[in-house]
Amino acid sequence: MAKQTLRHLKKEATEKALATTAFELALEHGLDGFVVEDIVQKAGYSRRTFANYFTCKEEAVAMGATSVNNTSEFEQLLTRIPSDASLLDVLYQLIQMQLTTDLIGRLRELLLLSQKYPVLEPHFLGVVHQMQTTAQETLLDLSNGKNDEVYTYLLINAVYGTILPLIDGRLNVLLPGQNISDPQRTGAVLFDEFLENMFVHLRKGF
């Protein structure tokens, strides 16, 4: 069991290292400014190792935008959630942990890259979908049959359906790091206020 855990952690670390390097290279040189060989050389792995994790550099770039270096805080949160907490309250805690300032910034960088290099767009949508899938699996596990699955999926899709318009600016929300003096942000609500307001609507029912 210990060997299996160690092997899993090592594989996870390798995947994150390759993905993070790919994302950094994309930000520095643009998608056309580097190849897979540059990724593996900078990360210190072989091309064969890269192929074990990714089908192309675009997939690695997208994964690198959402790669989390330390999941211990997230795992600790899960252990602190009261057993009688409502599904909505659990989801509120999860999305606060997931949508960190750092992650929002990287998602916006990835979005800008995908707008410049359309080949990245399906991979951008893929990582957003993966975030939603992770939340679904977490909530279903925590629910342990106590909540109706239809309600669980409806709730998750209602929340994560706002991520794309949030990141691409269709929702007038001032994200962490954005300048409130930007004329285009007139009337924008703060990110924390947006989250709170969204969950007020969910608690009222829709």
CA distance from start to end of the chain: 46
The pLDDT assigned to 74 comes to 57
Please report how many Cα atoms fall inside a 13 Å half-sphere around the Cα of residue 174, on the Cβ side. 16
Q: Tell me the residue ranges of DSSP E strands in the chain.
A: 173-174, 189-190
Per-residue tokens: 165: 């318009």
* 21-80 tens-digit pLDDT: 999 999 999 999 999 999 999 999 999 999 999 999 999 999 999 876 545 555 566 667
Give the closest residue to 23 by CA, choosing from 68, 79, 84, 71.
68
| Predicted TM-score (pTM) of this structure | 0.81
199/80 Cα distance (integer angstroms):
21
Query: Looking at the predicted structure, is the pLDDT value of residue 3 above 70?
Result: no
**What is the CATH T-level fold of the domain 1-67, as seen in this structure?**
Arc Repressor Mutant, subunit A (1.10.10)
Domain boundaries, the chain: 1-67, 68-206
Q: What does the pLDDT look like over 147-202, one tens digit per residue?
A: 778 888 888 888 888 888 888 888 888 877 676 666 566 778 888 898 899 999 88
**φ, ψ dihedrals at 137, nearest 5°:** -65, -40
Residue-wise burial string across 183-195, b where 16 or more C-beta atoms lie within 10 A, e elsewhere? eebeebeebeebb
Per-residue model confidence (pLDDT) at position 78: 64
Both tokens of 78, joined, read 């899960």
Average pLDDT, integer, range 3-28: 85
More confident residue, 120 or 203: 120
The predicted pLDDT at position 44 comes to 95
Pair 50, 64: CB distance under 8 Å = no
CB 171 within 8 A of CB 155: no
Question: Which whole-number Å values give the CA distances from 131 to 6, 26, 33, 126, in the listed order?
Answer: 24, 21, 28, 9
Q: What is the pLDDT of residue 86?
A: 82
